[in-house]
């Protein structure tokens, strides 16, 4: 067991196929996994688990949830058999006593599609934290701040979503729309300058922000990764690309 600070990550996960395809995103996630100390456990905040109240997964053998359709059978056959963690659940409950333990939910593709290339051995315990729909952006960020001590206990905080995510506008092209590229670049600049208030509050940032953040659930995991970071930590960016017109694959490492 390590007792050193683990970097925090936000991963732009994109298509579930990135879990198994050999591509630039898959290779980048594998590289990131190799470049950081092996965590004692992982707390994942995925865009794909939304609940009324704050919830955490409690199953010691979390199921691999194939929460998508229309993809090759090869993808549905993937089973990411990482264990759960009683210790991490109890620790999160100490920090967030209002969190409810959910024994039914497992690891959705926002989590396992990223971890499959990042930690293919699936031997690191994983717990998911839900996105409570009753909370605003500032409250999600505040929860991230509260979870910051976990990083010093060897826990990897993993936010998984997409900085720009608007499936209604998506098209089959490799490049991004001007508004998507604009907002992706704006957020990068805010992160580098530590203008957290601008990252948290999208109101007032114009049409590009409204189109990019859209329904919000893919953007919110970034707020958790930002919340657990320290103001003076280095920030590194990976996969700095907007594809399919309206999907940012940008990844961010804090620390």
Q: Give the start-to-end residue ranges of the domains of the chain.
A: 8-254
Q: Check residue 227 and give its pLDDT.
A: 98
Cβ neighbours of residue 182 under 8 Å, at least 6 residues apart?
208
Q: Check residue 88 and give its pLDDT.
A: 98
Task: Provide, rounded to the nearest whole percent, the portion of the chain with pLDDT above 70.
Answer: 100
Alpha-helix residue ranges (DSSP H) falling in 131-205: 137-147, 178-192, 196-200
**248 touches 180 (CB < 8 A):** yes
- pLDDT of residue 67 exceeding 80, the answer is yes
**169 touches 18 (CB < 8 A):** no
Pick the CATH number of 8-254 from 3.40.50.720, 3.40.50.300, 3.40.800.20, 3.40.830.10: 3.40.830.10
- pLDDT of residue 131 exceeding 80, the answer is yes
Cβ neighbours of residue 169 under 8 Å, at least 6 residues apart?
177, 180, 211, 245, 246
pTM check: above 0.95? yes
- pLDDT of residue 169 exceeding 80, the answer is yes
Q: Check residue 205 and give its pLDDT.
A: 84
If one counts every other C-beta atom within 10 angstroms of the C-beta of residue 160, the result is: 29
Mean pLDDT of 217-229: 98
């Amino acid at each position: 067991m390590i007792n050193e600070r683990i970097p925090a990550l936000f991963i732009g996960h994109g298509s579930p196929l990135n879990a198994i395809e050999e591509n630039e995103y898959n290779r980048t996630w594998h590289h990131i996994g190799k470049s950081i100390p092996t965590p004692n456990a992982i707390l994942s905040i995925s865009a794909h688990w939304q609940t009324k109240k704050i919830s955490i997964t409690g199953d010691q053998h979390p199921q691999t949830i194939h929460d998508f359709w229309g993809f090759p059978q090869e993808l549905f056959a993937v089973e990411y058999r990482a264990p759960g963690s009683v210790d991490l659940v109890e620790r999160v409950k100490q920090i967030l006593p209002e969190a409810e333990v959910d024994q039914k939910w497992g690891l959705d593709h926002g989590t396992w599609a990223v971890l499959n290339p990042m930690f293919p051995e699936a031997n690191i315990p994983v717990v998911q934290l839900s996105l409570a729909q009753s909370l605003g952006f500032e409250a999600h960020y505040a929860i991230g701040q509260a979870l910051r001590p976990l990083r010093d206990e060897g826990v990897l905080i993993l936010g998984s979503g997409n900085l720009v995510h608007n499936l209604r506008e998506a098209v089959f092209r490799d490049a991004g729309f001007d508004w998507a590229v604009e907002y992706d670049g704006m957020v990068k600049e805010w992160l580098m300058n530590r203008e957290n208030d601008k990252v948290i509050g999208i109101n007032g940032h114009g049409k590009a922000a409204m189109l990019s953040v859209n329904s919000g659930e893919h953007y919110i995991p970034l707020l958790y990764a930002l919340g657990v970071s320290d103001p003076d930590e280095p920030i590194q960016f990976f996969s700095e690309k907007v594809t399919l017109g309206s999907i940012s694959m940008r990844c961010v490492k804090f620390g």
